[in-house]
Amino acid sequence: MQLLLAPMEGLLDFALRDTLTRVDAGAAADPAAAGPHPSGIDRCVSEFIRITDTLLPPRSFIRTMPELLTGGRTLAGVPVRGQLLGSDPTLLAENAARLAELGSHGVDLNFGCPANVVNRHGGGSALLQEPELIHRIVAAVRRAVPAHVPVSAKMRLGYADDRQAEDNALAIEAAGASEIVVHARTKVHGYRPPAYWERIADLRGVVKLPLVANGEIWTVDDALRAQAASGCTSLMLGRGMVADPGLALAIRARLAGGEKSGSEVPLSLDGYGFSAINVDPSEGFQPEGRPGSACAFSATVAAGVPPAVPWADMRPLMQSFWALVERRVERRHRAGRLKQWLNLLRRRYPEAQAAFDALRTTNDADALSAWLQQQS
């Protein structure tokens, strides 16, 4: 089984990748159940790097994926695979070659982003209407990167409907990809529950390459249901892992027949050497207040099941996250980044609900810094 950490534009960026892979199995009875890495995460995928009309300079890749400065891994040691988004096979191939040269642990192709601003320009899930173009993109990228560099793709079930799901999966396989992550919803579904995991099982009936199930995995029980319905042993965790940083550990512990607790990994920023980068959290994922969204919540979804990472261990993780936000994010956007995470954490932590309520109207970065210092 593999557990992957999802790319989520505007939410699950470098700072959260670094923080979530700092979680570890601590003094658990069976640390081996955490998997290859103590966080329980086998691999991360970066947010998409948009490819439009040029071969990007190295700094453009590093802006989205600073892990390229540290061997393509988070500081905790988890490999990261860079994701490209675009629709021109030649340009994507050229940029994939550069991404591989910079040390990414593979190249992932985005055929799943449902954002209208992306789809209007023919990217993301809009490509699911053109299986032949998807084939040409994957084949061009596969030819452009060394044979030892994996090429994977992330797709949804379709655009307006799922009638071309099998055609798209077959196109990706025939072009030479090594893996497909399937977000079990269409573009039109967006992030509205449910996820249609059983359709992934249909795809497994027509393609031979490994498939990874993704979508609406918030709890251990969700993970087990996704595995059963899709037939996939491997999963990609997104919002569920952000809301419950110990989710990967809890899944592995359930499968191993035990329980895990979490602790933080010491913070060190010395390896990256980056300066502040303008990042606007308003561009991309917006979890709060969307009617019908699984993110519009205030109560936990796993009542009576304590999170694998207790709140006492979440506090230093948030401080580590904030240190990276202060280094990386423009000052006027910093408060939004912390509140966005707290908004999801309140699904599992009553303490996060209290913190979110107290900080909801605060947009001053210094005030948030002071609050975080009080939590130590």
Structure tokens at 21: 């892979």
Cβ proximity of 48 and 283 under 8 Å? no
Cβ proximity of 111 and 175 under 8 Å? no
pLDDT more than 70, % of the chain: 85
Q: How confident is the model at residue 277 (pLDDT cuts 50, 70, 90)?
A: very low
More confident residue, 329 or 155: 155
Structure tokens at 20: 């979530």
Task: State in Å, rounded, how far the first CA of the chain is from the last one.
Answer: 36
Q: How confident is the model at residue 289 (pLDDT cuts 50, 70, 90)?
A: very low
Q: How many CA atoms lie within 13 A of 260 on its CB side?
A: 31
Q: In the prediction, which pLDDT does 52 show?
A: 94
Q: How confident is the model at residue 31 (pLDDT cuts 50, 70, 90)?
A: low
* Average pLDDT over all residues of the chain: 87
pLDDT more than 90, % of the chain: 77
Q: How many CA atoms lie within 13 A of 141 on its CB side?
A: 38
Cβ proximity of 82 and 65 under 8 Å? yes
More confident residue, 254 or 10: 254
Q: In the prediction, which pLDDT does 257 show?
A: 82
- What's the rounded Cα separation, in Å, for the pair 245 and 285? 18
pLDDT digits (tens, 9 = 90+) for 188-227: 999 999 999 999 999 999 999 999 999 999 999 999 999 9
Across the range 12-20, mean pLDDT stands at 95
Cβ proximity of 212 and 244 under 8 Å? no
Helical segments of the chain, H only = 14-20, 58-64, 89-101, 116-119, 131-144, 165-174, 197-204, 220-230, 239-243, 247-256, 311-328, 331-345, 350-359, 365-374
Residue 24 has pLDDT above 90, yes or no: no
Structure tokens at 370: 């002071």
Residue 273 has pLDDT above 70, yes or no: no
How does DSSP classify residue 265? P
Residues forming the active site: 113
Residue 234 has pLDDT above 70, yes or no: yes
- Give the SS3 label for residue 25: coil
Structure tokens at 143: 């030819």
Q: In the prediction, which pLDDT does 129 show?
A: 97
Q: Please tell me the CATH code under which domain 311-374 is placed.
A: 1.20.225.30
Structure tokens at 135: 């084939």
| Amino acid making up residue 118 | V
- What's the rounded Cα separation, in Å, for the pair 102 and 40? 26
Q: Which of 219, 223, 165 is nearest to 189 (CA)?
A: 165
Q: What share of the chain is helix, strand, coil (3-state, %, to 5)?
A: 40, 15, 45
Q: In the prediction, which pLDDT does 299 show?
A: 37
Cβ proximity of 34 and 252 under 8 Å? yes
Q: Which of 238, 242, 233 is nearest to 200 (CA)?
A: 233
Residue 248 has pLDDT above 50, yes or no: yes
Q: In the prediction, which pLDDT does 34 show?
A: 59
- Give the SS3 label for residue 285: coil
**Of 116-125, 255-264, 348-357, which gets the smallest average pLDDT?**
255-264
Q: How confident is the model at residue 276 (pLDDT cuts 50, 70, 90)?
A: very low
Residue 303 has pLDDT above 80, yes or no: no
Q: In the prediction, which pLDDT does 285 show?
A: 38
Where in the chain are the domains? Answer: 3-256, 311-374
Q: In the prediction, which pLDDT does 191 show?
A: 94
pLDDT digits (tens, 9 = 90+) for 41-52: 999 999 999 999
Residue 102 has pLDDT above 60, yes or no: yes
Q: In the prediction, which pLDDT does 25 show?
A: 62
- What's the rounded Cα separation, in Å, for the pair 67 and 77? 10
- What's the rounded Cα separation, in Å, for the pair 4 and 166? 23
Residue 266 has pLDDT above 80, yes or no: no
- Give the SS3 label for residue 110: strand
HEC per residue, 154-173: EEEEECCCCCCHHHHHHHHH
So what's the architecture of 3-256 in CATH?
Alpha-Beta Barrel (3.20)
Residue 283 has pLDDT above 60, yes or no: no
Sign of CA dihedral 90, 88, 168, 283: positive
pLDDT digits (tens, 9 = 90+) for 103-161: 999 999 999 999 998 998 889 999 999 999 999 999 999 999 999 999 999 999 999 99
More confident residue, 127 or 264: 127
Q: How confident is the model at residue 263 (pLDDT cuts 50, 70, 90)?
A: very low
**Does the fold of domain 311-374 match that of domain 3-256?**
no
- What's the rounded Cα separation, in Å, for the pair 64 and 235? 23
Cα-trace Rg, the chain: 19
Q: Rounded to 5 degrees, what are φ and ψ at 38?
A: -60, -25
Q: Rounded to 5 degrees, what are φ and ψ at 180?
A: -130, 130
Q: How many residues does the chain have?
A: 376
Cβ proximity of 135 and 175 under 8 Å? yes
Q: How confident is the model at residue 33 (pLDDT cuts 50, 70, 90)?
A: low
Residue 261 has pLDDT above 60, yes or no: no
Across the range 20-37, mean pLDDT stands at 66
